[in-house]
A and B are shown apart, each in its own frame.
Chain A
């Protein structure tokens, strides 16, 4: 037994099980025969096990330095530390597809255990098996992780150095994939709902999946931002690169879906929007991979331009076409008939969802506009960060405004007493904005401060309302915490407001400068005094490092580095970031005197409130986790929800 053999066996078996499962579940639907469904269900576990075997085979090959595998030879080196070796399966295309496929089989396995309605179950399974067929079909044909080399090299070059600079890179892709794959379950349910014309219950049944997917996508995005900030050495966390956009689009659409799904769960409305949003969100996850791998658009993230581009394009078109095609067939039946008042909970939720979807559209437009212009005029244009920042600011502000007021509005129609709350909110908004302006901040940043206070006030009012309602009913106020959905969403909303504040300030006030210092020379910039003491070289086996020894008056010694990798032409700067509650101090060594180490060229980037963005990211994950915590279901069953 060799890793290649085991891996190929695993991939082929998963493909075979998935194909068989797809056939059986379709038969089960067409014949209305439970035996076929049982047969399909029994294939879920073997598919997961075979996929796990394939994944373990890749790990095995990496751990034993089996360079006869092309993937290992291209992405591994005997000098790699253990943790880098363990995460190398998702350092390149083929391994990433394997991880994605493995997670899909895991989610199919988990989802198959909760299928209530046998009529729709067969279709849900068919869709999930179909997705597995795609991923494992791609691996079996055009992007095999287990392709062997006739003439294996004695050692490889290791994964892309950017990916091995920080442990976050081990986590970020897995979180993203967990999120992407999570959207496949609501999508499968939506397709089944549209085919069987049972439009209501699927949102409730996939509620947890939607939240799990959203939680992972959010955590993955924030992890990616953190990685970009701590590792890439440009002092930013978001560049509006096409591939970043491509993973932002599913997040935006999933957020829109999350909110309209809530309305369908509680009020039975917005069915059309839910079908549309879930389809687009799932399709957008495939689109991201297509963008990364097809070379359609220039991006820092566009790695190998393999033959998988057309395959992912076809899959994207199929997924979108299936969802929207079915929706157009049933659109008459899912249309909302009830009347809506714009000043109501559902009105605010729909408006908010439209803001998210509109934002997704704008991001799509900006990302593909250069391609569109080139297709029609042949001209080359760029659409980058300045455009996206300008169009995103009003959208983000609109979302923050709705986020505060929405949960305070009652369903159906606003009542008189809500007006008092609104007054408090507007007061907080005005107060925050004026406070910002009086401290000399720019209008945008001041407004962001106002929006933060406005949302904090809204959350306070909501929490107070919940607690008071319980006190009036003679219950313990702590019981409010048992309303996990409410409390968790308040935590997430607070985190979003905090994130908004951090983004607004860090984008508005960023000080970046570069200076060459001679040994012993001091530099005062951004409120810190830096003295350059010299450079030091270190040999770390797989790379060489050069450290600048900087003495600062506020943070002691700081040592930014330059890393020299044998496989890279130019050195990679490894920044040193000093977080403080106010400003972040980001030190970069750009260049140094190669002969005597007499001088070093340093870049210092001072950015406010970035620290709080990472706190907000953590809070978002915690809030989502709080809602998802298993006890929540039991509590909710007791009916303590005052919302």
Chain B
């Protein structure tokens, strides 16, 4: 009975088993980490256990064997899923700003700090008061 249950549990997974999956070299995972898994909730194609992510890793491995470069592989997926699939937003168009804004912020921060640390003149009233007191004969 237990074994029947176990077998049922083993049959459950969605993916068909047609022989063992292919071997994946480290390069595959490096590229897959930069691609978003299309059927997941915010996981990369390297992390996800879903069927589509597994197929993506397999496609990447095949393309690498065919001698395709990383750019060509990424372009292949962008062609099909749009730039949404890139975890590193391209440095142009609307996503240019996400790269530029931190730099801009850093610049503003620098300027703000410069202003903050710059020796500021003391308020006029205070200086006048100090001067007046200095001139007063000591009591």
Contact = CB atoms under 8 A, between A and B. Distances in A.
Given A383-B98, A544-B9, 5 more contacts: A232-B47, A300-B43, A382-B89, A383-B95, A566-B9
A384 B109 contact: no
Contacts of B111: none
B22 to A, nearest CB: 8
B26 A511 contact: yes
Contacts of A30: none
A234 B29 CA distance: 11
B36 A382 contact: yes
Looking at B83, B84, B102, B105, which has the most chain A CB atoms within 10 Å of its CB? B102
Interface string A507-546: 0000111111000000000000000000001010000101
B134 interface: no
Contacts of A373: 94-95
B75 interface: no
Interface stretch (A199-207, A385-393, A481-489): A385-393
Interface string A193-234: 000000000000000000000000000000000000000111
A302 interface: yes
Contact of B98 (A350, A365, A546): A365
Nearest to B33: A385
B46 A386 contact: no
17 contacts: A232-B47, A234-B47, A239-B42, A369-B89, A381-B83, A381-B84, A381-B89, A384-B42, A387-B87, A511-B26, A512-B46, A513-B26, A516-B22, A566-B9, A570-B13, A570-B15, A573-B49
A2 interface: no
A514 B24 contact: yes
Contacts of A297: 42
Contacts of B2: 539
Contact of B95 (A339, A376, A381, A603): A381
A299 B117 contact: no
B114 to A, nearest CB: 9
A377 interface: yes
Contacts of A512: 26, 29-30, 46
Contact of A593 (B20, B25, B84): B20
Interface stretch (A166-174, A340-348, A448-456): A340-348
Contacts of B47: 232, 234, 236, 239
B130 interface: no
A538 B86 CA distance: 40
B13 A571 contact: yes
A452 to B, nearest CB: 24
Interface in A567-581: 569-573
A387 B41 contact: no
B138 interface: no
Contacts of B97: 369
Given A299-B42, A516-B21, A340 B14 contact: no
Nearest to B85: A382
B43 A239 contact: yes
Contacts of B89: 369, 381-383, 387
B40 to A, nearest CB: 7
Interface residues of B, number: 57
Contacts, number: 155
Interface of A is mostly: mixed
A134 interface: no
B136 interface: no
A176 to B, nearest CB: 19
A339 B26 contact: no
Contacts of B36: 382, 384
A366 B98 contact: yes
Contacts of B102: 358, 362, 365, 391
A508 to B, nearest CB: 12
Contacts of B87: 382-387
B14 A569 contact: yes
A641 interface: no
A573 B109 CA distance: 45
Contacts of B99: 387
A336 to B, nearest CB: 8
Interface string B90-127: 00001101110110011001000100110110000000
Contacts of A566: 9
Contacts of B6: 537, 539, 544
A381 B10 contact: no
A200 B11 CA distance: 67
A601 B49 contact: no
B68 to A, nearest CB: 19
Interface in A532-563: 537, 539, 544, 546
Interface string B32-46: 011010001111101
What 8 A-B pairs have minimum CB-CB distances, sorted nearest first? Answer: A384-B87, A386-B88, A234-B47, A514-B24, A516-B20, A512-B29, A564-B9, A380-B84
A300 B41 contact: yes
Given A381-B83, A513-B24, A564-B12, A298 B42 contact: yes
B70 to A, nearest CB: 12
A241 B42 contact: yes
A158 interface: no
B23 interface: yes
Contacts of B101: 365
B137 interface: no
Contact of B86 (A233, A341, A382): A382
